[in-house]
Chain A
Amino acid sequence: MKLPEKEKNYGYPACRLGVSFYSGWKNLAYILFLFLPVPVFLFSIFLGTYPLSPLELIKVLLSHFTAYEYSYPSVYDTVILNIRFPRVLLAMMVGAALSTSGATFQGIFRNPLVSPYILGLSSGAAFGAALSISVIPELPVQVGAFIFSLVALGFSYIMARTGGQTSTVALVLSGVITSAVFGALLSIIQFTTDEKAVQSIVYWTLGCLHTSHWPKFFDSFPLVAAGCLVIYLLRWKLNVLALGEEEAKAVGMNVELYKAIFITAASLAASAAVAVAGIIGLVGLIVPHMLRMIFGPDHRKLIPLSITFGAAFLALVDNVARSTLGFEIPVGIITTLLGAPFFLYLLRTTKMVGWE
């Protein structure tokens, strides 16, 4: 085909130049966002209810990690190493897991309203937690929540699967049904159990990080890391899937296989996070959204950014939850109250593209 001369000169090299100029600050922002968890971590460990001055904290850390010598009460070690460190790291891990899982589910479902909880994960987890709190005390809460979140997910997936195919609409609908069923089961427990147990169940479902300790972090870390790693390695395939299943098949993708892999990886990461932190809402929905507004929908960037920015985001929100008022506020409440207006602000100020 012969091109008109004008169009020929307007080919990609000139265009590429324009793009690189325009995307210069974006590349810088990309790198900054990737390393964001480091300053956020350093900042977060200075915060807490225990009165410990920043200078003292720096001295304690220096004496630990360098040759610097400083004598201090042993309670400082407990506060820093066994309370603040695991708390901040757990918040980061949960934030990364929920954001990555949210970005993945949104990509597979090609829908902006999807969160990691779309397939009934949260209701299953809440039921599992309630079961262990009031019916089977021998079952640790995290284990109960983890097992039943996966039961709920599996239930949704199997219900939606007909003749070797899992249609997106069927998945969403079966997720709604699963959520309703586990919601009803949770109500039975809440209805029949004593007041104190109901209180702990409600507290758990609000999403809270104040009981963080190292075992929680180490129990859930391998699952979250494995899920996020699989999604990270396959991130470009999400671009192919996000354009539509028929388009993906046309370029030779085994759509059902990849969907199953992505759903499994995203569910494992999110379930492990919910099991230790309770149901923290909106993170999996708004973090990927915010990143898409700034960096575009390409999952090659979106997935690593979801991991790092999701981690930084929840650590910062948890800082608010634990140190603004004199008492602990469940972080799930803050993510919703803080997230919503910020999201609205972005929605109004940036030009919203896509989501037709």
Chain B
Amino acid sequence: MNKKQIQKNKGISVENLTLSYEKNLVLNNVNFSIKKGSVVTLVGPNGCGKTTLLKIINGFLRQNEGTVYIDSRNIEKIANRDLARILGHVSQMHKSSFPFSVLDVVLTGRMPYISIFSTPGKEDVEKAYEVLEFMGIAHFAQRPYTQISGGERQMVMIAKALAQEPDFLLLDEPTSFLDLKNQIHVLKTIISLAKTRNITVLMTLHEPNHALLFSDEIILLRKLNGLKNDNFSTLYENSPEASPEKKNLLAFPMKNIVSLGAPEKVMTPEKIKEAYGIAVEVLEHKGKRMIIPEI
């Protein structure tokens, strides 16, 4: 295998991913790959499987079919601890019932490097301070995590994930519950991570305009349940060979991904209509694009 081939296999690659929750098909045959060092955003309506997809990639959920590769390794074959060393995850707004100091929260990110009967050592504390400084929040290392603002808390959670020293960072709605200033601050921080630390970022965002502004690539998803009106379901009900597996195949021949690639190619009025079912206009201003819904 030549060098180019190996380079190509670096990154995240998702193949034929299928998952159903109870009887609802959430993900149907999803395929995409993410180049190392890029910032990729998953965009789509509620319930389209964005969060589910992230949870499968970091091993919280197991898919029914398909495989996820990280740097060409099947994630199912990577131990939790080893996965946590290459992949960080920041979940949607996190709350703690204990007033742990910010430093203590960030230190938990050192878990994959700390053996069973040990506690974090001097080196771990230094690593934690290093990421806190990188995030610009070292000055409140000793503040209780429960007494800082939502924006600061999000920065702490990102710092915690960075303390894992990951090559990949998954973020689920990193800007939800934040005000505009904090939204932009968090997104700018995320981009600078990708640039300065060569971390590959995969995140979900609700605001398509933020996705346009901050992503190298966008993956636009649609919700499969939206296709329930098709007469495929009735076709299934009447079929003598009815079985849950067949139902999926019959009722949902559609795939989740509407489009993927460069932001300006993905976020077109036609494709957005396909994903969200609403009409939008795309404006261009000083080389930046903006989506305005028709009211």
Assess the A11–B138 pair: CB atoms within 8 A. yes
B101, CB-defined interface residue at 8 Å: yes
Q: Which of A234-257 contact B (CB under 8 A)?
A: 234-236, 239-240, 242-244, 246-254
Assess the B88–A7 pair: CB atoms within 8 A. no
A356, CB-defined interface residue at 8 Å: yes
Tell me, in angstroms, the Cα distance from A234 to B117 when the chains sit together: 6
Assess the B144–A1 pair: CB atoms within 8 A. no
Instruction: Report B125 CB to chain A, min CB distance, Å.
Output: 10
Cβ contacts B76-101/A at 8 Å (1 or 0 each): 00001111110011010011111111
Tell me, in angstroms, the Cα distance from A250 to B91 when the chains sit together: 9
Assess the A234–B133 pair: CB atoms within 8 A. no
Assess the A12–B91 pair: CB atoms within 8 A. no
Q: Which of A1-37 contact B (CB under 8 A)?
A: 1, 3, 7, 10-12, 15, 19
Known: A247-B91, A297-B100, A298-B100. A1 touches B111 (CB 8 A): no
Q: Which of B88, B111, B144 has the most CB of A within 10 A?
A: B111
A210, CB-defined interface residue at 8 Å: no
Assess the A243–B108 pair: CB atoms within 8 A. yes
Assess the A243–B100 pair: CB atoms within 8 A. yes
Known: A297-B99, A298-B100. A240 touches B119 (CB 8 A): no
Cβ contacts A296-330/B at 8 Å (1 or 0 each): 11101000000000000000000000000000000
- Of all chain A residues, the one with the shortest Cβ separation from B90 is A250
Tell me, in angstroms, the Cα distance from A292 to B116 when the chains sit together: 24
Assess the B96–A7 pair: CB atoms within 8 A. no
Assess the A354–B138 pair: CB atoms within 8 A. no
B29, CB-defined interface residue at 8 Å: no
Instruction: Report B241 CB to chain A, min CB distance, Å.
Output: 30
B136, CB-defined interface residue at 8 Å: yes
Known: A239-B104, A354-B144, A354-B146. A253 touches B111 (CB 8 A): yes
Tell me, in angstroms, the Cα distance from A92 to B112 when the chains sit together: 36
Question: Given the complex, which residues of A lie within 8 Å of B89, measured CB to CB?
Answer: 250
- Of all chain A residues, the one with the shortest Cβ separation from B83 is A252
Interface size on B, residues (CB 8 A): 53
Tell me, in angstroms, the Cα distance from A19 to B118 when the chains sit together: 25
A336, CB-defined interface residue at 8 Å: no
Tell me, in angstroms, the Cα distance from A244 to B88 when the chains sit together: 16
A353, CB-defined interface residue at 8 Å: yes
Question: Given the complex, which residues of A lie within 8 Å of B146, measured CB to CB?
Answer: 353-354, 356
Question: Given the complex, which residues of A lie within 8 Å of B133, measured CB to CB?
Answer: 11-12
Tell me, in angstroms, the Cα distance from A300 to B105 when the chains sit together: 13
Assess the A1–B134 pair: CB atoms within 8 A. yes
A50, CB-defined interface residue at 8 Å: no
Assess the B104–A298 pair: CB atoms within 8 A. yes
Known: A3-B136, A243-B100, A252-B112. A15 touches B105 (CB 8 A): no
Report the interface size class on chain A.
35 or more
- Of all chain B residues, the one with the shortest Cβ separation from A23 is B142
Known: A15-B138, A239-B108, A250-B84. A244 touches B188 (CB 8 A): no
Question: Given the complex, which residues of B lie within 8 Å of A252, measured CB to CB?
Answer: 80-85, 111-112, 164
A233, CB-defined interface residue at 8 Å: yes
Tell me, in angstroms, the Cα distance from A234 to B119 when the chains sit together: 8
Assess the A12–B132 pair: CB atoms within 8 A. yes
Assess the A246–B188 pair: CB atoms within 8 A. no
B192, CB-defined interface residue at 8 Å: yes
Tell me, in angstroms, the Cα distance from A354 to B99 when the chains sit together: 5
A-B contact count (CB 8 A): 122
- Of all chain A residues, the one with the shortest Cβ separation from B120 is A236
Assess the B111–A243 pair: CB atoms within 8 A. no
B60, CB-defined interface residue at 8 Å: yes
- Of all chain B residues, the one with the shortest Cβ separation from A18 is B142
Q: Which of A110, A246, A247, A251 lies in contact with B98, CB distance below 8 A?
A: A110
Cβ contacts B245-284/A at 8 Å (1 or 0 each): 0000000000000000000000000000000000000000
- Of all chain A residues, the one with the shortest Cβ separation from B192 is A1
Q: Which of A196-251 contact B (CB under 8 A)?
A: 233-236, 239-240, 242-244, 246-251
Known: A15-B142, A251-B112, A356-B95. A233 touches B117 (CB 8 A): yes
Cβ contacts A131-148/B at 8 Å (1 or 0 each): 000000000000000000
Assess the A356–B97 pair: CB atoms within 8 A. yes
A68, CB-defined interface residue at 8 Å: no
A48, CB-defined interface residue at 8 Å: no
A112, CB-defined interface residue at 8 Å: yes
- Of all chain A residues, the one with the shortest Cβ separation from B109 is A251
Known: A247-B91, A247-B108, A251-B109. A15 touches B96 (CB 8 A): no
Instruction: Report A350 CB to chain B, min CB distance, Å.
Output: 12
Known: A12-B132, A251-B108, A253-B111. A297 touches B98 (CB 8 A): yes
A355, CB-defined interface residue at 8 Å: yes
Assess the B80–A249 pair: CB atoms within 8 A. yes
Question: Given the complex, which residues of A lie within 8 Å of B58, measured CB to CB?
Answer: 250
Tell me, in angstroms, the Cα distance from A254 to B189 when the chains sit together: 30
Assess the B100–A15 pair: CB atoms within 8 A. no
Tell me, in angstroms, the Cα distance from A112 to B97 when the chains sit together: 9
Cβ contacts B101-130/A at 8 Å (1 or 0 each): 100110111011010111110000000010
9 additional A-B residue pairs with CB within 8 Å, beyond A110-B96, A251-B108, A354-B146? A10-B139, A15-B139, A236-B120, A242-B96, A243-B98, A244-B94, A252-B84, A296-B101, A353-B99
8 closest A-B pairs by CB: A252-B84, A354-B99, A297-B98, A251-B111, A236-B119, A353-B99, A250-B89, A12-B138
Q: List 7 A-B contacts (CB under 8 A).
A: A1-B196, A15-B139, A239-B100, A249-B80, A252-B164, A297-B99, A298-B100
